[in-house]
């Protein structure tokens, strides 16, 4: 397998990669050639509709990794940036914010895969449209509703079976449309069992998930349309082996309204107004854990996200367009943890009667963000293309019901106001026919999120430390440069780039020996971590992708990426930086048949943060195969083989087992060999 993988990489690296106008295939994904608006746009294909969640799809893009706490709700990491350093949206404006401080309900868990058409990726602070960010944007897009000349009915149904875990996944979608109206209804059911790792160890990872959604569009006339969206998702009985508790349920509801006005005048060619609201009801407990005989712990938590955005597109000339916009977002989080203590874990004394304790989790915290932005897209000449943007945000954070000990720690609690701004520029120069050079530079800022400001002694990291928020944090700032070279020829293409990010006031949790452990003080570690600003942090690295069509319908591809993170202030590596990785493979695709063999090579990660108590991870190699056969009349069958050689491996960003059956405390192994069989029908 080593010889096979190395051969594929050598063949792929001798070919050429992604470009401006064509398509690059990576691991069975179609990655569209990017404009100045995006770095990549991944098209959702039949073979990746069977993934557990959308995180498993975006993971295949160079320099995107996942934080894994369970086999559900994976959290993306782009070039070492994560959580609120990124913006995750649906259709450019709808958002969710986790109710769980451990991010059991990460935004990816609320994306409806049944209706997903593509994923737009921006790596770095190079867009001002979608809100504050320092690390990048993931925009999950469904197909835009369009009128049809006659009454039409279209639909999709798919069913997939995973042998490892005996898991099933069913999806369906139906759409009717005519000249005036469109109605689309979709939904899915997932029932995933515990999988086995490469050495046969059963990993507690089962979950049940269902969702549905509906979209209605009214095409008032060729210039005006109104779109209504509604969707709900329901997760239950979710095992999070990498966390101290499991998810009992997670219910999410999202509603949205869009109004679009096209070609209002010769100058104003598009106006759009959008509003949305999301509510999450989340409960987690230790009811499936061995410490239940000592304490019964249940956290009932809620999160709300409401937003509105208005945009106006103005045509200065045929080659120069401006986008003006304003948006508003309000996030609220509430909920407590109720503990019924049967036995003192430090002394062993039995409580008779049991003692009930209520711990404040979110302390009724809120954050609002009012922003305005302007963006310019200018085709200067046949050789030069330039995009530039600016954004200004006023952010307010507040805590309504602080716990007594948190208020004692920060006696000056009150509303915190931040003023953030973003600036970016992306310049593309055509060196010759099919050859381009692109330079991006940007300043991104973000206000601290509610976890970083108001968390009160909770274990939310990779270690056993309690984490404490800091209302006095400064805003995080990222000044970043990207330089890319793109080559596009008839049957081969190449994209290679480097980036460098200088981050000021980088937010991370550091050990504070003045803060004692609050819960189970007899246990190690004795002290807690407090969120603080790191004065000087750096992230830099490279990305490359290549594809070459060497025979009719046959192509070879390869990609690679590496990020280095440095905490200059503490003279150590930044925590949770993924290791160097290379992908390569062979692909055949025709109208009836498609097949892909993919190899993934991940290096060891020994550049770890000692202050974060981060562990090193070993190198590994994984090989996958996927195939699709079009029977006819819209009927397709698919087969995927994941981890062909049953490799026993661990991703660097996966959490370790916590609060499991004695003797099972271990690293979080990935699934062993898994066959995925699927059948789908389109009409």
User: Is the pLDDT assigned to residue 31 strictly greater than 80?
Assistant: no
End-to-end CA distance of the chain: 41
DSSP string of 516-575?
E--SSTTSSP-EEEEEEEEEEEEEEEEEEEEEEEEETTEEEEEEEEEEEEEETTTTEEPS
In the structure, how many helices (H) and strands (E) does the chain have?
4, 37
d(CA 650, CA 654): 7
Of 493, 465, 426, the closest CA to residue 609 belongs to: 465
Mean pLDDT over residues 182-211, rounded? 95
In this structure, are residues 578 and 652 in contact, taking their beta carbons and an 8 Å threshold? yes
Write out pLDDT tens, residues 62-117.
999 999 998 989 999 999 999 999 999 999 999 999 999 999 999 999 998 899 99
d(CA 300, CA 283): 5
d(CA 287, CA 296): 7
* SS percent in the chain: helix, strand, coil, step 5: 5, 60, 35
Question: Could you tell me which residues come within 8 angstroms of residue 15 by beta carbon, excluding any fewer than 6 positions away?
Answer: 492, 494, 546, 547, 548, 550, 556, 557, 558
Burial of 265 (0-12, 13-18, 19+ CB in 10 A): exposed
What kind and span of H or E run contains 56? Answer: helix 55-58
How high is the pLDDT of residue 346? 84
- For tokens 């996966």, name the residue: 654
In this structure, are residues 39 and 123 in contact, taking their beta carbons and an 8 Å threshold? yes
Write out pLDDT tens, residues 620-641.
999 999 999 999 989 999 999 9
d(CA 197, CA 204): 11
What residues are paired with 370 via a beta bridge? 328, 394
Write out pLDDT tens, residues 566-607.
999 999 999 999 999 999 999 999 989 999 999 999 999 999
How high is the pLDDT of residue 279? 98
Write out pLDDT tens, residues 53-76.
888 889 889 999 999 998 989 999
d(CA 653, CA 614): 10
User: Is the pLDDT assigned to residue 380 strictly greater than 70?
Assistant: yes
What kind and span of H or E run contains 5? Answer: helix 2-13
User: Is the pLDDT assigned to residue 14 strictly greater than 70?
Assistant: no
Read off the pLDDT band of 667 (50, 70, 90).
Answer: confident
Neighbours of 66 (CB within 10 A): 21
CA 446 vs CA 131, 139, 311, 473: distances in Å: 9, 18, 22, 11
Structure tokens at 1: 């397998």
Of 218, 282, 273, the closest CA to residue 249 belongs to: 282
How high is the pLDDT of residue 177? 97
Mean pLDDT over residues 225-253, rounded? 95
CA 111 vs CA 42, 84, 409, 450, 548: distances in Å: 15, 17, 38, 22, 33
In this structure, are residues 403 and 496 in contact, taking their beta carbons and an 8 Å threshold? no
In this structure, are residues 481 and 79 in contact, taking their beta carbons and an 8 Å threshold? no
User: Is the pLDDT assigned to residue 11 strictly greater than 60?
Assistant: no
Higher pLDDT, 656 or 10: 656
Neighbours of 550 (CB within 10 A): 12
Neighbours of 491 (CB within 10 A): 12
Strand, coil or helix: 660: coil
* pTM of the predicted model as reported, rounded to 2 decimal places: 0.92
Write out pLDDT tens, residues 336-374.
999 999 998 888 899 989 999 999 999 999 999 999 999
d(CA 153, CA 362): 46
Of 650, 568, 576, 570, the closest CA to residue 607 belongs to: 576
In this structure, are residues 20 and 40 in contact, taking their beta carbons and an 8 Å threshold? no
Write out pLDDT tens, residues 405-438.
999 999 988 899 999 999 999 999 999 998 999 9
- For tokens 């690390």, name the residue: 135
How high is the pLDDT of residue 60? 83
Longest dimension (CA), the chain: 81
Of 589, 558, 585, the closest CA to residue 493 belongs to: 558
What residues are paired with 357 via a beta bridge? 339
Structure tokens at 510: 């550091």
Structure tokens at 327: 């948006």
- For tokens 């279209």, name the residue: 154
d(CA 617, CA 654): 10
Neighbours of 194 (CB within 10 A): 17
Of 79, 46, 48, the closest CA to residue 62 belongs to: 79
What residues are paired with 313 via a beta bridge? 270, 323
User: Is the pLDDT assigned to residue 3 strictly greater than 70?
Assistant: no
Neighbours of 507 (CB within 10 A): 25
Write out pLDDT tens, residues 105-161.
999 999 988 999 999 999 999 999 999 999 999 999 999 999 999 999 999 999 999
Report CA dihedral (448, 449, 451, 454) to the nearest 10 degrees.
60
User: Is the pLDDT assigned to residue 10 strictly greater than 90?
Assistant: no
d(CA 115, CA 117): 6
């Amino acid at each position: 397998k080593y010889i096979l993988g190395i051969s594929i990489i050598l063949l792929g690296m001798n070919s050429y990669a992604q470009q401006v106008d064509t398509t690059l295939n990576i691991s069975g994904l179609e990655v569209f050639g990017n404009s100045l608006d995006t770095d990549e746009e991944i098209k959702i294909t039949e073979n990746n509709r069977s993934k557990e969640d959308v995180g498993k799809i975006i993971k295949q893009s160079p320099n995107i990794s996942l934080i894994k706490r369970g086999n559900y709700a994976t959290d993306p990491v782009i070039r070492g940036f994560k959580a609120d350093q990124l913006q995750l949206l649906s259709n450019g404006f709808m958002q969710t914010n986790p109710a769980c401080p451990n991010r059991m309900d990460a935004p990816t868990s609320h994306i409806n895969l049944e209706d997903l058409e593509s994923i737009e990726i921006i790596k770095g602070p190079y867009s001002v449209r979608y809100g504050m960010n320092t690390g990048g944007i993931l925009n999950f897009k469904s197909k835009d509703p369009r009128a049809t000349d006659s009454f039409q009915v279209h639909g999709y149904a798919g069913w997939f079976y995973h042998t490892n875990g005996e898991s099933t996944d069913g999806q369906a979608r139906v759409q009717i449309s005519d000249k005036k109206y469109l109605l689309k209804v979709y939904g899915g059911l997932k029932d995933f069992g515990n999988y086995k790792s490469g050495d046969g160890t059963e990993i507690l990872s089962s979950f049940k998930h269902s969702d549905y959604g509906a979209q209605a569009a009214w095409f008032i006339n060729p210039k005006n349309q109104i779109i209504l969206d509604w969707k709900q998702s329901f997760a239950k009985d979710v095992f999070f082996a990498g966390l101290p508790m499991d998810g009992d349920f997670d219910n999410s509801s999202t509603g949205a309204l869009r109004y679009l006005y096209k070609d209002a005048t010769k100058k104003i060619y598009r106006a759009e107004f959008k509003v949305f609201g999301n509510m999450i009801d989340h409960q987690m407990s230790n009811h499936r854990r061995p410490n239940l005989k000592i304490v019964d712990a249940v956290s009932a938590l809620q999160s709300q996200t409401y937003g509105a955005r208005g945009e106006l597109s103005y045509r200065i000339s045929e080659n120069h367009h401006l986008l003006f916009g304003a948006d508003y977002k309000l996030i609220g989080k509430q909920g407590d943890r109720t503990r019924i203590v049967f036995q003192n874990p430090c002394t062993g004394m039995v409580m008779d009667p049991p003692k009930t304790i209520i711990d404040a989790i979110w302390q009724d915290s809120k954050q609002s963000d009012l922003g305005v932005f302007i963006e310019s897209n200018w085709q200067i000449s046949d050789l030069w293309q330039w995009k530039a943007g600016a954004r200004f945000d006023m952010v307010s954070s507040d805590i309504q019901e602080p716990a007594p000990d948190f208020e004692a720690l920060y006696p000056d609690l009150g509303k915190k106001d931040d003023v953030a701004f973003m600036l970016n520029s992306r310049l593309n120069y055509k060196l010759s026919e099919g050859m381009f050079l692109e330079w991006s530079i940007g300043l991104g800022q973000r206000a601290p999120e509610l976890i970083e400001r108001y968390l009160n002694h909770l274990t939310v990291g990779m270690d056993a430390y309690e984490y404490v928020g800091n209302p006095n944090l400064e805003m995080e700032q990222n000044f970043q440069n990207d330089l890319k070279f793109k080559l596009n020829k008839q049957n081969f293409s190449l994209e290679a780039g480097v980036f460098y990010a200088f981050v000021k006031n980088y937010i991370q949790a550091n050990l504070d020996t003045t803060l004692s452990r609050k819960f189970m003080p007899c246990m190690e570690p004795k002290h807690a971590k407090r969120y603080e600003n790191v004065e000087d942090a750096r992230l830099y690295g490279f990305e490359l992708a290549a594809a070459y069509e060497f025979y009719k319908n046959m192509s070879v591809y390869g990609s690679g990426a590496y990020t280095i993170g440095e905490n200059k202030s503490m003279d150590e590596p930044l925590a949770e930086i993924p290791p160097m990785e290379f992908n390569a493979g062979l692909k055949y695709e025709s109208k009836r048949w498609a097949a892909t063999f993919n190899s993934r090579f991940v290096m060891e990660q020994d550049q770890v943060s000692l202050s974060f108590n981060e562990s090193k991870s070993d190198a590994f190699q994984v090989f996958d195969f996927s195939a699709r056969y079009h029977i006819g009349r819209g009927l397709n069958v698919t087969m995927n083989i994941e981890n062909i050689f049953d490799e026993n491996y661990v991703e660097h960003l996966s959490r370790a087992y916590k609060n499991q059956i004695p003797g099972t405390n271990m690293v979080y192994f990935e699934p062993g060999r898994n066959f995925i069989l699927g059948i789908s029908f389109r009409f």
